Structure 1
Amino acid sequence: MLLLFFLVWIIFNGAITTEICIFGVVVAFLMFGFVCKFMDYSWRKEKLLIQRSGYFLLYLGNLLIEIVRANVSVCHFVLSDRDEIHPVMVSFHTTLKSGLARVILTNSITLTPGTITVSLQGDEVIVHCLDRSLAEGMENSSFVKMLEHMERIGETNGNL
């Protein structure tokens, strides 16, 4: 967040000089102090965010790969000679503990073509799939494994 405050300062100024950078660092620290005092934030949460950010970038890369794979599958269904597509509703329970991780999972499922999250109630996820083949292994997907790993990072370093 500290870096974000500094970057916003630089963008709003529209120029980079020594004075603007020094003043930007001071303003960023003041804003960070304000956020820590009045908005329940801390250096520990900042550290955890930095630790998770690298893994989150890997997650985004994996999401892009899965989107491309799902696009190929959906194109195959559309362009093939098959007359029947077998849509299916899949219900599974996730082992993810945090609400944020569950929301990221369901949004990732919805972003991949051929699947859409219908419901998220507690730890139960209901997904509509264009075909049965798209539903296989959804509860143990790479999305779930990566999000579980990010949750473990939070547990060992003080949960957000």
Structure 2
Amino acid sequence: MLLVYFLLWVIFNGSFTLEICVFGLVIAGVLLGFSCRFMDYSLAKERKIYRHIFGFCGYCVLLVKEIVKANFGAMHLILTQREEIEPVLVTFHSDLKTQVGKVLLANAITLTPGTITVTLEDSEYRVHCLDRDLAEGLNESEFARYIRKLEEEKQVRKG
């Protein structure tokens, strides 16, 4: 968090000099102290965040890649002269363990064009797909595999 406060200070100042750097470090330190004292923040929580940041960045890269791929698939579906698009409502179960993992999967499905997560109850997803072809393999998508891997890494660190 100290680094974030410092970078914000430098960005808002618009230049980088020794004076701005020194004042920025002092102000960032004071803000970090305030955050720890009054906002239930701690350096232990920050270390936890840093341990998971690379996994989350990998998830974001995967998400962008899949969104681009799905965009081209949806454009192809719309622009080709197929007789008829077959929308379908699919229900499937996921073996993801954490609530965060389940929500990440639901949001990833919704963010990719052509699919919308209608409901998520326990581990049961109901997804509306623009076409029957888009519904194939939702429960074993790259998102589900990646999130499962993140959950397993978290369990190894805890255990």
TM interval, shorter chain, is: 0.7 to 0.9
In the alignment, which residue of structure 1 is the partner of 2:96?
96
Between 1 and 2, higher relative CO (CA 8 Å, sep ≥ 6) is seen in 1
SS of 2:41 mapped into structure 1: coil
1:43 maps to 2:43 = yes
- Give the CA RMSD over aligned residues: 2.1
Provide the aligned length of Structure 1 versus Structure 2.
158
| TM-score normalised according to structure 2 size | 0.84
| TM-score normalised according to structure 1 size | 0.83
Distance 1:96 1:34 in 2: 37
Are residues 153 and 32 of structure 1, via their aligned partners in 2, closer, same or farther at CA, if it must alter by over 3 Å?
A: farther
Distance 1:33 1:154 in 2: 28
SS of 2:139 mapped into structure 1: helix
Deviations 1:102-134 (A, max 9, x none): 332222111111101112233322110011211
Distance 1:149 1:115 in 2: 23
SS of 2:144 mapped into structure 1: helix
Are residues 22 and 122 of structure 1, via their aligned partners in 2, closer, same or farther at CA, if it must alter by over 3 Å?
A: farther
SS of 2:81 mapped into structure 1: coil
Are residues 42 and 67 of structure 1, via their aligned partners in 2, closer, same or farther at CA, if it must alter by over 3 Å?
A: same
Distance 2:147 2:38 in 1: 29
Distance 2:156 2:19 in 1: 40
In the alignment, which residue of structure 1 is the partner of 2:52?
52
Distance 1:38 1:157 in 2: 29
SS of 1:139 mapped into structure 2: coil
In the alignment, which residue of structure 1 is the partner of 2:7?
7
Are residues 2 and 144 of structure 1, via their aligned partners in 2, closer, same or farther at CA, if it must alter by over 3 Å?
A: farther
Distance 2:101 2:37 in 1: 26
Of all paired residues, the percent bearing the same amino acid is: 48
1:80-159 alignment runs, 5 A limit: 80-157=80-157
Distance 1:60 1:139 in 2: 19
Q: Which amino acid aligns with 1:96?
A: L
Q: Which runs of 5 or more structure 1 residues have no equivalent in the other structure?
A: none
